[in-house]
Amino acid sequence: MSNIKSVIVATGSYIPPRVIENQHFLNHSFFEKDGTPQARKNEEAIEKFKAITEIEERRYAEDDLNASDLAFLAAKDALESSGIDAEELDYIVVAHNFGDVAKGSNRVDMIPTLASRVKHKLGIVNPDCVAYDLPFGCPGWLQGMIQADYFIKSGDAKKVLVIGAETLSRIVDPHDKDTMIYADGAGATILAASTDTDAGVLSHKAQSHTVDQAYFLRMEPSCNPAHQSDARYLKMDGRKVYEYALTHVPKVMKAALEKAGVEAREVKKVLVHQANGKMDEAILKRFFKLYNAEAPAGIMPMTIAKLGNSSVATVPTLLDLILKGEMEGHAVKAGDVLLFASVGAGMNINAMVYRMPHPKLLSGGGGLA
């Protein structure tokens, strides 16, 4: 089985049409984490937020759609744009963190699994298509890709659909400035087995740090003491996450490259989780510093300014936009090396090295020269 390679043969995404600009938060009542009202005026706080994160706007899902609906729409896009028959799928893996959260409820719904819901919506009859969910923080989609690679290289699967979908706008505290970071969306990828290439997934590396870092992201009550609700919201120690990411993510990226036997200078694109613009730029700089090199211009495409942080959906959505020629100034061709990386709740980190195959191996084409 050693000659089997995992190749990305299809991508899809669902970017909600509802645009939420930063001005949307001008009338919010923000509180500090200790429960005291924010001292700054909202205009000043929003400007500072934009300077730190680079986020200008984000997307929120339509009120009648949940995460499983976004996942289905991204999967449908991947299948239709590639011409792949859904009945041929061996696995459907859906990465998420909160399941389906109906608009206005803040209640998590994960039974049945989102993957089962997606399989149902796709109308797949094949009982050998196994559907399961993967909660792994923001690196969930990439971890799903890692698992799919293992399935394929073992000979257990020939086609695996991996989806990242989230509606973070429904589990954030309206009184917490961090609310402005988060967004909704979904991205999907189909990995397939090939014995006709040396390209595809070359290596991957993952780590979990939990001794001191497990609760950097967690669920807590609103930071507004007067907020009358027993709901719990997503909370983050932003500074600790930032320092953690800069310390550990570049090393994991380097470890993945070393496993693949690939040099940093061979990397054409770095697709990193769109968490925070300044943090991602610092991660890239730290990564190349490990090689005593400067980061090449244009190597790291970014969507966070317009799409915000949609957790597990950021990287597959970015990949789909690039492969379908919808990211101006960013394209890839056969032989190019892509380095994927993500970091998030847990705290978890992962990275994957991928070499673009010849276009003839792709069902959908899109973006390859």
Name every residue whose Cβ is closer than 8 Å to that of residue 75 and which is 6 or more positions away in sequence. 12, 92, 118, 122, 161, 163, 188
Compute the distance between CA of residue 82 and CA of residue 364 in angstroms, rounded to an integer: 4
Q: What is the pLDDT of residues 179-235, one digit of tens each?
A: 999 999 999 999 999 988 889 999 999 999 999 999 999 999 999 998 877 889 999
Compute the distance between CA of residue 308 and CA of residue 299 in angstroms, rounded to an integer: 20
Compute the distance between CA of residue 285 and CA of residue 275 in angstroms, rounded to an integer: 16
Q: What is the pLDDT of residues 35-64, one digit of tens each?
A: 899 888 999 999 999 999 999 999 999 999
> If you average pLDDT over residues 277-295, what whole number do you get?
96
The DSSP annotation for 79-145 comes to HHHHT--GGG-SEEEEE-SSBB--TTT---B-SS-HHHHHHHHHT---TTSEEEEE--STTHHHHHH
**Residue 223 in tokens:** 């930071």
What pLDDT shows up at residue 338?
A: 98
Average pLDDT, the chain: 93
Answer for the pair 160, 191: CB distance below 8 angstroms, yes or no: yes
> Which residues are registered as beta bridge partners of 161?
92, 190
Distances (CA, A) of 241 to 141, 189, 237, 238, 276: 19, 28, 6, 5, 11
What pLDDT shows up at residue 324?
A: 95
Band of pLDDT at residue 77, cut at 50, 70 and 90: very high
CB crowding 206-215: b at 16 or more within 10 Å, else e: bbeeeeebee
Q: What is the pLDDT of residues 289-344, one digit of tens each?
A: 999 999 999 999 999 999 999 999 999 999 999 999 999 889 999 999 999 999 99
Question: Among candidates 368, 336, 365, 340, which has minimal Cα distance to 352?
Answer: 340
Question: Among candidates 292, 258, 275, 287, which has minimal Cα distance to 343?
Answer: 275
Band of pLDDT at residue 2, cut at 50, 70 and 90: low
Band of pLDDT at residue 358, cut at 50, 70 and 90: confident
What pLDDT shows up at residue 362?
A: 54
What pLDDT shows up at residue 84?
A: 96
What pLDDT shows up at residue 228?
A: 74
Compute the distance between CA of residue 99 and CA of residue 82 in angstroms, rounded to an integer: 27
- Max CA-CA distance within the chain? 63
What pLDDT shows up at residue 368?
A: 34
What pLDDT shows up at residue 104?
A: 86
Strand bridging mode 130-134 / 91-95 = parallel
> If you average pLDDT over residues 90-95, what whole number do you get?
98
Band of pLDDT at residue 361, cut at 50, 70 and 90: low
> If you average pLDDT over residues 78-106, what whole number do you get?
95
